Structure 1
Amino acid sequence: MAHHEDSCSQVQVLLTFSTFSRPTTIPSGSGYEVLHEKFLSVYGDHINVFRKFIIQIYSDEWGQYIDFPKGFTILSKCKLRLELERTPLGNLTPDTTAFLCCDMQERFRPAIKYFDDIVSVGQRLIHGADILGSPLIVSEQYPKGLGSTVPELDISAARLVFPKTKFSMILPEVEKVLATLPHIRAMVLFGVETHVCIQQTALDLIGRGFEVHVVADSTSSRSMVDRMFALKRMAQLGVIISTSESVLLQLVADKEHPKFKAIQSIIKASAPESGLLMNV
């Protein structure tokens, strides 16, 4: 049947990815490769092109989306969905993990609850990332008015330190760096404020298919209500809410790891609770 279709005829399709849906047209008889390119042309700004994904087609027979059959071609109006391949949640390895330090700046010191505590924990994370060779990316929210990253944090080894006005860290300059790190699948995210820049960065990363670990004892807000509800919301959306010690020990995974003793020295003293246990 496909061989008799006019090669120039177009078929209407509805493309869906994450929370987005957009009608468009494709040449009749298009297969997986054409659809792959169409999804990238429509949603390229929202897709981490280094992640594996699958295309699904809506089946009227089954009343749900099914995987796009091998060798299948599109001959009539239909609905298509892009699904990112899922990876097991929670497993961190140094060579597939990046650290994102968000807006740990001087002017936030008097305003953010438990700021000194979260900076102390941030020191541990940055030191650990350096020991393990995991890349670090650092943002600074409007540094002209809010100052630079606090001096307690040694960000000299960061792959990128950049200013921003947008709340999310996921800007073109960050995506450019990530494009050079196609092996990265997990992000360890910490900084301020939990309910604003951290939350929006986490949502953007989840939408791009990354596994996101927000370090609860190294992120805070001006309001503890905002902080706690943001942590809950992110957890509901698939973000892994973790602690600094958990993250660092997951990364070494074994007492026999060559970097275990160096990481152990970082966590020898317990991290400050930063107000997380006030209601326990």
Structure 2
Amino acid sequence: MLLSAEESQVLIVDIQGRLMPAMDGPERVVERTAIVTQAARRLGIPVSASRQYPIGLGPLVPEIEALLEEGETLDKTAFSCAADSGLAGHVAGKNRKQIVICGVETHVCVLQTAFGFLAQGLNPYVVIDACSSRKAGDKSAAIDRMRSSGIHIVTSEMVCFEWMGEAGTDAFKDISKLIK
């Protein structure tokens, strides 16, 4: 199933300052998440973010924090955003069936979030190049498990081009510059 800008929302999971240095390829995760977020903004797609136990893991990284607006970031202690009543209600309130997920760690919070929202009737799309774990093998196992359970595994470019749907528009020109 292709992504639709009208049916999508973005959820950024736990891209926090104290957590990211331990991840495999943290710069790419931040870069790709920023591209998805900026494309979503350009197309009017809602964006939300979670922070896992911010007292211990700190705020979101500055590059992502700068792209978010007041009220879009919610704190949690549950690993799954779908298991946190505040975040689950926030996501449900967007009334969009497709949830595009970026974040860390792929095999813990991202996986549990994707499965949780799948169980709640949403269609999760996990952006593989905007996710990471400390160990590449953990990420790989999580991606295999999610894919075999019907969770869509996509790349940041797939997301952007599916949202746009066609070339030759002002949105295409703007978002193409982000991708290059």
- TM-score between the two structures when normalised by the length of structure 1: 0.61
Q: Percent identity?
A: 34
State whether residues 102 and 131 of structure 2, in contact with CA within 8 Å, keep that contact through their aligned partners in structure 1. yes
1:140 paired with 2:33, answer no
1:51-99 deviation line (CA, Å, top 9, x unaligned): xxxxxxxxxxxxxxxxxxxxxxxxxxxxxxxxxxxxxx2x112121000
2:137 paired residue number: 225
Contact 2:11-2:47 within 8 A present in 1 as well:
yes
The aligned residue for residue 119 of structure 1 is 30
For structure 2, the residue ranges without an aligned partner over 5 or more in a row are: none
1:173 corresponds to 2:90 = no
Cα separation, 2, equivalents of 1:263 and 1:110: 28
Whichever residue aligns with residue 149 of structure 1, its letter is: L
| 1:115-136 deviation line (CA, Å, top 9, x unaligned) | 1111111110111111111111
AA partner of residue 73 (structure 2)? V
CA distance in structure 1 between the aligned counterparts of 2:42 and 2:18, rounded to whole angstroms: 29
After superposition, residues 32-43 of structure 1 pair within 5 angstroms as: none
Instruction: Give the letter for the 2:11 counterpart.
Output: L
Distance, in Å, in 2 between the alignment partners of 1:197 and 1:224 is: 15
Partner of 1:242: 154
**Partner residue of 1:161 out of 73, 88, 96:** 73
For residue 254 of structure 1, what is the amino acid of its counterpart?
E
State how far apart, in whole Å, the 2-side matches of 1:175 and 1:193 are.
19
Alpha-carbon RMSD across the aligned residues, in angstroms, is 1.3
**Alpha-carbon separation, structure 2, partners of 1:113 and 1:179:** 31
| Cα contact 1:188–1:215 (8 A) shared by 2 | yes
- Corresponding residue of 2:120: 208
Q: Which residue in the other structure is 1:40 paired with?
A: none
Are the equivalent residues in 2 in contact too, given 1:104–1:150 (CA < 8 A)? yes
The question of whether the paired residues in 1 share the 8 Å contact of 2:24 and 2:133 is answered with yes
Asked if structure 2 preserves the Cα contact closer than 8 Å seen for 1:138 and 1:158, the reply is no
Higher strand share: 1
Query: May I ask how many residue pairs the two structures share in their alignment?
Result: 178
Give the Å deviation of 1:176. Answer: 2.4
Stretches of 4+ aligned residues off by more than 4 angstroms:
none
Conservation of the 8 A alpha-carbon contact between 2:34 and 2:63: yes
Q: 2:32 is matched by which residue type in structure 1?
A: V
Q: Distance in 2 between matches of 1:179 and 1:201?
A: 13
Q: Tell me, yes or no, if the aligned pair for 1:136 and 1:159 is still in contact at 8 Å.
A: no
Cα distance in 1 for partners of 2:8, 2:51 equals 21
CA apart distance, 1:223: 0.8
- Cα pair 1:135 1:158 within 8 Å, conserved: no
> Contact 1:211–1:239 at 8 Å: present in 2 too?
yes
Task: State the one-letter code of the partner of 1:207.
Answer: A
Work out the CA distance in 2 between the residues paired with 1:122 and 1:138: 11
Deviation at 1:169, TM superposition (A): 0.9
Any conservation in 1 of the 2:34–2:67 contact (CA below 8 Å)?
A: no
Cα contact 2:81–2:88 (8 A) shared by 1: no
Secondary structure of 1:107's partner?
A: coil
1:195 and 1:140 mapped to 2: Cα distance? 16
For 1:177, the aligned partner's letter is H
